[in-house]
């Protein structure tokens, strides 16, 4: 667009473009959650319906108990999933997405759509610059 802005470019752009810098660290927290190795997988799996601990662990390929517990706890603290423990003789705990969790899942789904839409270009650039696929 306008190229005349470059000399004193820092003047008009502020610390981080359109990000209010007050919400910056909060946005980063959510971004961390999104970029987390397991969070989105758990959310994606739970999007199909509630699951109990063991089933959840089976559905997420390669997750350890530790990571599943930690991930689920974080998601619960953020209000993205609910944890329902039934006081039965064999303990039963069910995890389910909250409406908030579902809305985040929708957002990430759109991101995934973007990836599916552009992964060709990205792969091309990566191979062109000598990066492993």
Contact positions vs DNA (CB under 7 A): 36-38, 52-55, 62-67, 69-70, 72-73, 83, 85, 90-93
84 contact choice in DNA, a second copy, none (CB below 5 to 8 Å, kind-dependent):
none
66 contact choice in DNA, a second copy, none (CB below 5 to 8 Å, kind-dependent):
DNA
Residue 67 engages a second copy in binding (rule: CB under 8 A): no
DSSP of 25-82: HHHHHHHHHHHSTTHHHHHHHHTT--EEHHHHHHHSTT--HHHHHHHHHHHHHTTSEE
53 contact choice in DNA, a second copy, none (CB below 5 to 8 Å, kind-dependent):
DNA
Number of residues counted as binding a second copy (CB under 8 A) = 64
- Across the chain, the runs of DSSP E, i.e. the strands, are 51-52, 81-86, 92-97
Please state the closest distance from residue 67 (CB atom) to a second copy, in A. 14
Looking at 9-17, 63-71, 84-92, which segment touches a second copy (CB under 8 A)? 9-17
Please state the closest distance from residue 90 (CB atom) to DNA, in A. 5
- Select 36 or 93, whichever has its Cβ closest to a second copy: 36
From residue 96, how far is each of 8, 13, 18 by CA, in Å? 51, 42, 34
Contacting residues for 34 by C-beta, under 8 A, at least 6 apart: 40, 104, 108, 111
Please tell me the distance from the alpha carbon of residue 29 to that of residue 35, in angstroms, as a whole number.
10
Residue 89 engages a second copy in binding (rule: CB under 8 A): no
């Amino acid at each position: 667009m306008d190229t005349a802005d470059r000399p004193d470019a820092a003047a008009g752009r502020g610390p981080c473009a359109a990000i209010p810098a007050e919400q910056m660290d909060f946005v980063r927290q959510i971004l961390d959650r999104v970029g987390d190795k397991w969070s989105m997988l758990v959310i994606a799996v739970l999007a199909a319906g509630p699951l109990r601990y063991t089933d959840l662990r089976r559905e997420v390929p390669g997750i350890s108990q530790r990571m599943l517990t930690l991930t689920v706890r974080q998601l619960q603290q953020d209000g993205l999933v609910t944890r329902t423990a039934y006081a039965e003789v064999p303990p039963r705990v069910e995890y389910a997405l909250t409406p908030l969790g579902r809305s985040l899942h929708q957002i990430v789904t759109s991101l995934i759509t973007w990836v599916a839409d552009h992964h060709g270009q990205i792969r091309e650039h990566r191979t062109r610059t000598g990066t492993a696929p």
